[in-house]
Structure 1
Amino acid sequence: MEVFTVCVAFLSLFVSVISAFSQSLDSDFTFILPAGRKECFFQSMKKDASLEIEYQVLDGAGLDVDFYMHSPSGHILAFDHRKSDGVHTVETEDGDYMFCFDNTFSAVSEKMIFFELILDNVDEGEKSEDWKAYVQGPDLLDMKLEDIMDTINSVKARLGKSLQIQTVLKAFEARDRNLQESNYERVNMWSCTNLVIMVIVSGVQVYLLRSLFDDKRKIHT
């Protein structure tokens, strides 16, 4: 009975420790940017944190877009002119960061854009120490809560990194697929055009050759 009580207490403590950890703040989005339009997004950040943004143009003529990022004070931190992808990392201060995708240079083609936000050192400090409030008495089953926390953080970091890599690879795959489909349609169109032109030219050549060998003397007789 005592072993069962200890196990229940340990499981309750383990769940409490897990619930004390902050959730992953990484996020990714895919959206359509119409021709001649600009879309801006905002992200609130705290001082001494890190903000990383990675973007890719998945579909659209030219596979390019203008990108720029503004600090809370209005300074331009990054600017890309008509690029298909990019990665930018900044050390943040308190305030809202604005980053925009600009397709105003294109009057016809819309763009499909994927971007991912990776936030580090956000909402840490007091929350990282909340689990200590659940510690009462000696360590249960001679296990150190510091070791448990380190293990969970390590697993969480690796899972987050794996998810990030898989998301980026999916974006690359979608971009390559759209590019191949576009090239396939272009090749088919030009192949059909060349075929029609060759048939017309062949017909003209046959007509000219036959007209050269016609016996016009039969007409006078």
Structure 2
Amino acid sequence: MSVRGRRASFISAGVRFIVILGLSVASCWPFRQSQDIEFTFLLPPGRVECFYQPVAKNGSMEVEYQVIAGAGMDVDFTIVSPHGYLLTSDFRKSDGIHTVEPTEEGDYRICFDNSFSRVSEKMVFFEVILDGQGAEGGGDDEWADMVEPESMLEYKLEDIRESVESVHRRLERSRQMQTLLRAFEARDRNLLEDNLWRVSFWSCVSLLVMLGVALTQVYTLRSLFHDKRRVHT
């Protein structure tokens, strides 16, 4: 076999090894656990709804909410720590994003308040993103225990690990952005439907008023030219 043939065979074997190694890493890599909770609910008028989210210590929690339907499109919002401390609050806002970092171990209370409204209910969407809550299967310790093979074609196991983790983070972020965009689209659609109903209603009212005014003017003009007195000859 010629030198060129042996070189091509060596490169082909190296490429196959890298592909197999990458697939093995992608299939068995225990990503850092990141939870994403989404919920949409109706908040009745004059009510307060609270949700409890268990969180591990020294992680991060991001909460984003949007009012997607209802008169005024606003609610009061609070986050309370497991020890009862008020961490953040919003007063009559339509949306908001809040991050708690680092977190304490326990149940965080997330509350939405519509007590200021006595008539209108609100449809609220919120999303809770938890990061750094630990990983199944050992996480980075498993990687530390694995024996790194000899480098081939200047590829290392650590490089593959970082690439896979980067792809995972970006895919998770893309999915979260798509969820938020759907919530924005739902809110905009509800606003458009409400505006359409108002425009249609007041257009009908204006049309009826115009017809009433026209009939009144016709009747008034006819009464001016109608002489009820009789002429005797």
TM-score interval for Structure 1 and Structure 2 normalised by the shorter chain? 0.7 to 0.9
| Corresponding residue to 1:43 among 42, 53, 77 | 53
Residue of structure 2 aligned with 1:114, choices 114, 125, 129: 125
Q: Distance in 2 between matches of 1:140 and 1:121?
A: 31
Alpha-carbon distance in structure 2 between the residues aligned to 1:66 and 1:219: 78
Deviation string 1:151-185 (CA, Å, 9 cap, x unpaired) is: 01110111111112111111111101100000000
1:94 aligned residue: 105
1:159 paired with 2:146, answer no
Between the aligned partners of 2:195 and 2:115, the Cα distance in structure 1 is 24
Q: More displaced, 67-76 or 25-34?
A: 25-34
Residues 43 and 219 (structure 1 numbering): CA distance in 2 closer, same or farther, change over 3 Å?
Answer: farther
Q: How far did residue 8 of structure 1 move? A: 11
Q: Aligned pair in 2 of structure 1 residues 150, 12: CA closer, same or farther (>3 Å)?
A: closer
In the alignment, the residues of structure 1 paired with residue 77 and residue 125 of structure 2 have an alpha-carbon distance, to the nearest angstrom, of: 12
The answer as to whether partners of 2:33 and 2:132 remain within 8 angstroms in 1 is: no
Q: Secondary structure at the match of 1:63?
A: coil
2:222 maps to 210
Name the TM-score, length of structure 2 as normaliser.
0.82
Secondary structure in 2 aligned to 1:217?
A: coil
Q: 2:91 aligns with which of 81, 103, 107?
A: 81
The reply to whether residue 188 of structure 1 matches residue 200 of structure 2 is yes
What letter is aligned with 2:115? T
CA pair 168-201 structure 1, distance change in 2 beyond 3 A: same
Alpha-carbon distance in structure 1 between the residues aligned to 2:19 and 2:185: 47
Alpha-carbon distance in 1 for matches of 2:73, 2:63 = 18
- Residue 94 of structure 1 and its aligned partner are, at CA, apart by 1.7
Q: Percent identity?
A: 53
Q: Kindly name which structure, 1 or 2, has the bigger radius of gyration based on alpha carbons.
A: 2
- Cα deviation for residue 61 of structure 1 reads 0.9
- Count of residues in correspondence between the two structures: 216
TM value normalised by structure 1: 0.86
Q: Distance in 2 between matches of 1:96 and 1:82?
A: 25
Task: Give distance in 1, aligned partners of 2:89 and 2:232.
Answer: 81
Partner of 2:28: 17
**Counterpart amino acid of 1:213?**
F
Q: 2:65 aligns with which of 47, 55, 62?
A: 55
1:68 corresponds, among 68, 71, 78, to 78
* Structure 1 residues 12 and 200, CA gap change in structure 2 (3 angstroms): closer
Partner amino acid, structure 2, of 1:115:
F
After TM superposition, give the deviation of residue 150 of structure 1 in Å. 0.2
Unaligned runs of 5+ in 1: none
Q: CA deviation at 1:15?
A: 5.4
2:188 & 2:179 partners in 1: Cα distance? 14
Report SS of the residue matched to 1:69: strand
Q: Is the 8 A contact 2:62 2:100 kept in 1?
A: yes
**Aligned alpha-carbon RMSD (Å):** 2.6
Equivalent residues of 1:16, 1:131 under 8 A apart:
no
Q: Report if aligned partners of 2:22, 2:160 keep a CA contact under 8 Å in 1.
A: no
Q: For residues 112 and 65 of structure 2, what CA distance do their matches in structure 1 show?
A: 10
How far apart are the structure 2 equivalents of 1:99 and 1:45? 12
1:61-82 CA distance string (max 9 Å, x none): 1111111110111011111111
- Match for residue 156 of structure 2 among 136, 144, 147: 144
* Structure 2 unaligned regions, length at least 5: 1-12
